[in-house]
């Protein structure tokens, strides 16, 4: 078919328009044809501003981010999603896999990613979700700001949306998380994940703002990060295996915690956790294990807290198997065993800095206290320890003195 002027431009334009419209329906914008991703060292770069994102700090850029992700995820070869310098607000975003792009796909954040300030934008229970992606690198030096103050006032009735990640073979580094509405980072149903050099900050009184939470995760390393929030700096939940937490600076917050375990009937066992070379400053808890009353019958075993420094910590060493005991009368059925607290030193603001309060239904087995040296901060008097329902062994120096287990 020839246009009236005798040329073929109209036919070409119609074909391009038809293809572009089909691509638009499949989630790839027309401007990708006019502005293909630039390539850097063989890697295709998908800049979110090329997909309509506006760096004004107020526009909801969720659709633009999702379009850029789909283009990167479905591309051939190496791909990078780029959030450049600037203030980019966004509501609920799902970066969904699996991806066709060459592994690993990169998400590089240079600017500030801000939560959209309308709470009704979060209908799916999450803010930004990385879901079912095998092979990912998240980096860039930028900031992820949850603007949590808009929802913290409702925390008694509903947790704020977290930033959940469901990945395999992923690395996350050199990012800053600020003021999440809920958990800052939640890694679940994932394996082979490395998390390092993060800075996570929220006010000490902000509710349910755990720094990093794991559940149903295997082979995860969390290292070399600074975390201060209104809840646990790091919390390790059920279904986790072979976890390393190392060189974390924690405070303010509720400490480095195993649990809570046993809240839900579908929870599964935990095995193989090492928390080592960490420092806690001004936290309510230090090395903590917590389980619910009236729990399912599960196990948590092979847990090591070692080389931990405490500064002005209220409960430096604590096992609490009586979580939610006012509403749940039945003892916890989470069986704790092979638990080690080694080389823990520093200061405390509590007269009883070592508390081992285990379940009478399933007493703790194989609990070791080795080389513990905790001193009082301020005029609080001599320190003591408390223990119930635990089979305890002592090695090396112990200050406060060994508890008598009831």
Q: pLDDT digits over 8-60, tens only?
A: 343 333 233 333 333 333 444 444 444 567 777 789 999 999 999 999 999 99
Specify the range with the lowest mean pLDDT, choosing from 26-30, 80-84, 174-178, 264-268. Answer: 26-30
What's the pLDDT at 31? 43
Percent of the chain whose predicted confidence (pLDDT) is above 70: 90
Percent of the chain whose predicted confidence (pLDDT) is above 90: 80
What confidence tier does 154 reach under pLDDT thresholds 50, 70, 90?
confident
Q: Is the pLDDT of residue 157 over 80?
A: no
Read off the tokens for 73.
Answer: 């995820």
Q: DSSP secondary structure string, 210-242?
A: -SEEEEEEEEEEEEEEEEE-SS-SEEE-TT-EE
What's the pLDDT at 158? 60
Read off the tokens for 287.
Answer: 């090395």
What's the pLDDT at 167? 92
Name every residue whose Cβ is closer than 8 Å to that of residue 285 and which is 6 or more positions away in sequence: 254, 255, 257, 313, 314, 315, 316, 318
CA-CA distances (angstroms) from residue 239 to 17, 131, 262, 290, 318? 50, 18, 11, 15, 21
What's the pLDDT at 327? 83
Q: What is the mean pLDDT of residues 186-207?
A: 97
Q: Is the pLDDT of residue 256 over 90?
A: yes
Q: What are phi and psi of 313, to 5 degrees?
A: -90, 135
184, 213, 238, 254: which one is catalytic?
Answer: 254
What's the pLDDT at 29? 43
The pLDDT tens digits for 144-153 are: 999 999 888 8
Name every residue whose Cβ is closer than 8 Å to that of residue 328 and which is 6 or more positions away in sequence: 292, 293, 294
Peptide bond into 331 cis (omega under 30): no
The pLDDT tens digits for 376-403 are: 999 998 999 999 999 999 999 999 999 9
The CA distance from 84 to 112, in Å, is: 9
Name every residue whose Cβ is closer than 8 Å to that of residue 369 and which is 6 or more positions away in sequence: 317, 341, 354, 392, 393, 394, 395, 398, 402
What confidence tier does 123 reach under pLDDT thresholds 50, 70, 90?
confident
Q: Is the pLDDT of residue 372 over 90?
A: yes
The pLDDT tens digits for 89-100 are: 999 999 999 999
Q: What is the mean pLDDT of residues 75-85?
A: 97
Q: What is the mean pLDDT of residues 224-240?
A: 98
Residue scoring higher pLDDT (236 or 1): 236
CB-CB contact of 264 with 234 (8 Å): no
Q: Is the pLDDT of residue 367 over 80?
A: yes
Read off the tokens for 25.
Answer: 């329906």
Q: Is 254 a catalytic residue?
A: yes
Q: What is the mean pLDDT of residues 217-225?
A: 98
Q: Is the pLDDT of residue 204 over 90?
A: yes
Residue scoring higher pLDDT (330 or 12): 330
What's the pLDDT at 2? 39
What's the pLDDT at 35? 53
The CA distance from 200 to 209, in Å, is: 10
Read off the tokens for 352.
Answer: 């009883």
What's the pLDDT at 6? 41
What's the pLDDT at 119? 85
* 241-250 and 234-236 strand pairing: unpaired
Looking at every residue in the chain, the average pLDDT score rounds to 90
Q: Is 122 left (phi over 0), alpha (psi -120 to 50) or beta?
A: beta
What's the pLDDT at 400? 97
CA-CA distances (angstroms) from residue 129 to 21, 355, 359? 28, 38, 37
CA-CA distances (angstroms) from residue 299 to 197, 295, 368? 31, 11, 17
């Amino acid at each position: 078919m020839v246009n009236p002027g005798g040329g073929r431009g109209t036919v070409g334009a119609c074909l391009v328009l038809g293809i572009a419209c089909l691509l638009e329906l499949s989630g790839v914008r027309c401007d990708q044809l006019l502005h293909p991703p630039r390539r850097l060292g063989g890697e295709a770069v998908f800049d979110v501003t090329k997909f309509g994102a506006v760096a004004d700090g107020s526009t909801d850029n969720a659709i633009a981010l999702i379009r850029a992700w789909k283009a990167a995820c479905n591309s051939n070869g190496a791909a990078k999603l780029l959030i450049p310098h600037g203030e980019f607000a966004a509501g609920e975003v799902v970066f969904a896999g699996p991806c066709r792009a060459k592994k690993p796909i990169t998400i590089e954040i240079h600017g500030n990613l801000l939560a959209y300030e309308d709470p009704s934008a979060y209908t799916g229970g999450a803010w930004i979700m990385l879901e079912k992606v095998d092979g990912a690198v998240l980096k860039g030096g930028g900031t992820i700001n949850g603007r949590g103050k808009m929802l913290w006032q409702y925390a008694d009735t509903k947790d704020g949306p977290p930033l959940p990640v469901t990945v395999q073979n992923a690395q996350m580094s050199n990012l800053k998380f600020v003021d999440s509405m809920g958990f800052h980072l939640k890694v679940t149903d994932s394996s082979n994940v490395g998390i390092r050099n993060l800075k996570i900050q929220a006010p000490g009184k902000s509710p349910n703002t755990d720094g990093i939470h794991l559940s149903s995760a295997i082979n995860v390393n969390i290292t070399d990060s600074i975390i201060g929030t209104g809840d646990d700096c790091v919390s390790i939940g059920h279904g986790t295996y072979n976890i390393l937490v190392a060189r974390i600076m924690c405070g303010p917050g509720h400490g480095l915690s195993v649990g809570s375990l046993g809240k839900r009937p579908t929870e599964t066992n935990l095995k193989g956790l090492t928390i080592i070379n960490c420092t806690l400053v001004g936290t309510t808890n230090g090395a903590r294990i917590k389980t619910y009353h009236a729990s399912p019958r599960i196990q948590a075993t092979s847990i090591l807290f070692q080389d931990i420094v405490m500064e002005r910590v209220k409960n430096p060493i604590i096992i609490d198997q009586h979580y939610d005991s006012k509403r749940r009368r039945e003892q916890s059925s989470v069986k704790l065993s092979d638990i080690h607290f080694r080389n823990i030193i520093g200061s405390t603001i509590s007269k009883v800095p070592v508390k081992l309060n285990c379940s009478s239904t399933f007493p703790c087995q194989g609990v070791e206290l080795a080389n513990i040296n905790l001193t009082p901060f301020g005029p609080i008097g001599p320190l003591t320890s408390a223990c119930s329902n635990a089979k305890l062994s002592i090695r090396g120096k112990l200050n406060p003195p060994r508890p008598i287990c009831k």
